[in-house]
Structure 1
């Protein structure tokens, strides 16, 4: 028999549904029909939509939130971190060596042993000081457990922590890489450590913003394959679903090798996180950029091209940067390593020409402004006078310190602000602890709200769970002192939730389709492991999802409901 057209497919009831609608109402139940929310309200009203085929789920008081939308996700990386063995938990050099020895035992002589960095994820912080010896293992340490296999302990991807990034090679790895006492450093940012006799110790450190050692000195180290990237992306989506993330915005851009992996997963109909990607260019000149923009203008312009699960729009265009890093990393394309994006060097004049070209082609610009907000805003204002950009939602990322005047400019240009509070307050906020005025201008969420600036929260994949990021926006604590940074800028729990749901939807021009639990919107939601609104503040980072839904389909379940 045909089913009743007005009956729900699924009803969640007897819960605490944080709708994130305009009134931030909290309801008891939500009904799902097809891919959309059919109704939200009281148990009595919503259960009235149940039919003989409706599945009803008793939440037993659990909290339901709209699906998280992480606007600086680097989602492809999380699965890649699991390609290489972890050294997590090792607190001494013998413990590091024991983990290496276990990996060597699984290899044939001559095969590479490559691991994640020394330290604990996601930040690999406070190394080598946290090791008992207060030093990194060197080539001779590694040789003791691996005389016949090349070993390379990868340096941390610098954005996960604070420079330097330190990689470690044993003697055989150095030999294969052609590194000896006569090898010169490729740049002043790279140090090849030597002992008192002048021999390299195997410790390679780099202070650059984006590490390049595996693109120069250690090019011989095995690289991610396409197969590994595809498998890792699928695993990443499962992990993101497990913490309630149903959508991402990748404003830092994705390189062709990452876009190819996304396309393969999309082709197989295996996407479980809605991904909005921006393009990461590898232009060698403004003329080359103009030709490429002309080719992409028909598909990546405006709100982009794609469907509800995978969409592409706009470009990431870097301001300034390191000439050395850009040259070193570009030389090895299509390989991008951990980055997943190409690295460019654009001095101010070139940046302005590229940005104007993008505006002329209706291509949304995304750029990072952690240390260059004033310069970028000046360029955007100049371009706006010639080609209006308000309404295009150009994105400025890693925004830290802002003045009231700058926020007025940001609002008037229609720019959207991406903040990474866990990085800039908790991980790297020590300098702000003793500078209260600067602290209250940094990651200034309250000012954004009061001045009408649109913003969202991103994890930057360190860690991938959104709840430490949400906590950082609420608590604003610094990790070493546990002191609050900029108390005037704290968000309430509901404001922080809105920033990472409706705020994220706005980045993709989809605030009318997702980001809140309202009738007619896409049924993207997460049932949480505890009550987000009442759990002790320091337990917010540990929250996860027990049931996640994307478009009315279950993509994650722990079996707890």
Structure 2
């Protein structure tokens, strides 16, 4: 039906009656009036999900009933549906977009790393722990306070109380990564031994401003008490294959550094109390919603964290939607067949989209000096433990999804596995394409000759623009391999030209940089060296926003429910302060989300918009402690 004003197909019989003389108000009275009408807006429905630069229809108004979009159309058409109790909100010409769908994100990690969620959901000190963040600033300035802060916390610590001292990345992402130098290297300044000297009687966890942590001997003892032999405990966020081997355990005991918060905090510090973790998790998800995210994909990384997600879902407290990937610990064929049976199943707020065994690695097919090549690893080469599990996932009818990956050589092995194991299982090409196999990040893959193969297999991918602007990614490839290979870093334009849907990631605890990352993906300008790496892979803002909405929904196996604003779909949308499509490119990073609605429920509303709408502010702008960019200023408006 080629009309601006559209009901869902369920309304067709009533529309026929309307043609015989009933008004739109009569239709609404029969079906139930909408609870909410948004009008006088510029609503980009994003209802063209093709791999093209068409946005689909732009309308003035939408109606919401029972968490779903009832209708979209002109002001007059949609407002005619309103009943006596319908809340009608005049957006005064502002842009409304579908809620942002981020295909690889870790709010369940960032809640341990960035202080705002913790400060507004849990005490900073109780009988179980005390947690403190160093003053924000450059890494060296933070380090000046480190040992005095640790001594002060140790002096007042109760017996058995955990001490968590964190570097603060604040608003500067590079500052957080720079703090890693204190934990790494041959002679780290913060080590198990140096922590033991200051705090021999209390377990200590030190978190860098990046993802890594280090612990002391007392913390090691606490972990082994819960995970004897360290079995099922993760040093890097996924259970390392071969973790039970004596040499791996011994190495960890000697130098306990890794992504330790994922398992240590929920299982040991919080003693498996998923309700406690759920409070922190909810606050972290609300923060991301305040910057526009309404759905995200990732792995829960720990069973207690999975329980926390499930608790929020059951109790109706999930602020956003979570598409999750299974990462073990059991990868037996029976378990993987069960996970394959769960694919796409769940609630509107939490559903499975696949599984994966271990991160892809950095091995490439590029010639480089020996000192570069010897740093590369291939996890998916034939005979490797991770390859055997990938084979099993494919063979049992599963889907690879939410998996971190890097170099093109490992991606080649992944493609081999998809083709070979699918053939062994008797899957047709249509069967393979129906799975929508994936890999994430696009940090060094795919290389150009892999793209037709990916297209043929019906894959959908997920790309992270941060690799275009950090010290890794394009910068590293230009330095180590040559400028021509920077075209292998997030080759979004080549994938677009091939007709492949690619999702969109932030993958860092900086939700306030969402629109900065849009510009980074458009321009590919790396501020570290001032170069535009591979300008032929630059894309338009439309390609970026489709990746953040309709194509992301396709990655998450939910294109029938999220990603666009169409009748019958879930009412997830955001309101911006300015027009994403018309502001000058250099102004895109300065766009702000005034309102976020998930399933028809407002989860974020700033005072400057709440007041003219006759509503109260909602979400993190109402918290007592708020220092994050934009939200701190918005709170005072």
TM bracket, shorter-chain basis: 0.7 to 0.9
Aligned to 1:258: 305
Residue 546 of structure 1 aligns to a residue whose secondary structure is strand
Shift of 1:244: 1.4
Q: Deviations over 1:360-399 (max 9, x none)?
A: 4322123443121122112222223333422111111222
Equivalent position SS for 2:520: helix
2:271 is the counterpart of 1:237: no
Name which structure has the greater RCO, CA cutoff 8 Å, separation 6+: 1
Secondary structure in 2 matching 1:457: strand
| Alpha-carbon distance change, 12 to 104 in structure 1, aligned in 2, over 3 angstroms | farther
Is 2:167 the counterpart of 1:117? yes
Q: Give the match's secondary structure for 1:4.
A: helix
The superposition leaves residues 41-77 of structure 1 with CA deviations (integer Å, 9 ceiling, x where unpaired) of 3334433333332211121232211011111112322
Q: Deviations over 1:62-118 (max 9, x none)?
A: 221101111111232232334542224152544445655665676447744211236
How far did residue 315 of structure 1 move? 1.6
> Any gaps of 5 or more consecutive residues in structure 1?
179-183, 193-203, 323-343
Aligned partner of residue 269 in structure 1, secondary structure: coil
Taking a change above 3 Å as real, the CA distance of residues 347 and 483 of structure 1, as seen in their structure-2 partners, is closer
* Aligned pair partner of 2:314 in 248, 252, 267: 267
Given candidates 54, 60, 80, the residue that maps to 1:48 is 80
Match of 1:410 among 424, 438, 454: 454
Q: 1:125 to 1:78 in 2, by over 3 A?
A: closer
**Aligned counterpart for 2:413 among listed residues 363, 372, 375:** 375
Checking the alignment, whether the CA contact within 8 Å between 2:102 and 2:293 is kept in structure 1 is yes
CA RMSD of aligned residues (A): 4.2
Correspondence for 1:558? 606
SS in 2 for 1:358: helix
Give the Cα–Cα distance (whole angstroms) in 2 for the partners of residues 311 and 525 of structure 1. Answer: 20
2:231 matched residue in structure 1:
none
Which structure shows the bigger proportion of residues in helix conformation?
2
Distance 1:404 1:266 in 2: 41
What are the within-5 Å matches in structure 2 for residues 48-87 of structure 1?
Answer: 48-81=80-113, 82=115, 83=118, 84-87=131-134
Aligned to 1:397: 440
Find the counterpart in structure 2 of residue 348 from structure 1.
382
**1:452 partner SS:** coil
- Residue of structure 1 in register with 2:29 after alignment: 4
Paired residue total: 503
Query: Which of 524, 527, 537 is the equivalent residue of 1:489?
Result: 537
Gaps of 5+ in 2: 1-25, 49-53, 119-130, 183-187, 225-245, 363-377, 610-637
Equivalent residues of 1:430, 1:478 under 8 A apart: yes
TM-score normalized by structure 1? 0.76
Match of 2:475 in 1: 430
CA-CA distance at 1:430 after TM superposition: 1.7
Equivalent in 21, 24, 29 of residue 61 of structure 2: 29
**Which residue of 348, 351, 354 maps to 1:311?**
351
Give the deviation of 1:477 after TM superposition: 2.6
Q: Secondary structure at the match of 1:391?
A: helix
Shift of 1:289: 1.0
Q: 1:202-213 counterparts in 2 under 5 A?
A: 211=259
Distance 2:600 2:220 in 1: 53
* Equivalent position of 1:507 in the other structure: 555
Residues 432 and 540 (structure 1 numbering): CA distance in 2 closer, same or farther, change over 3 Å?
farther
Among candidates 394, 397, 420, match of residue 362 of structure 1 = 397
Provide, for residues 389-411 of structure 1, a one-character-per-residue CA deviation record: whole Å limited to 9, x for no partner: 22111111222332332111111
Task: Describe the SS at the equivalent of 2:595.
Answer: strand
User: Please, what TM-score do these two structures have when normalized by structure 2?
Assistant: 0.68
Q: Which residue matches 2:369?
A: none
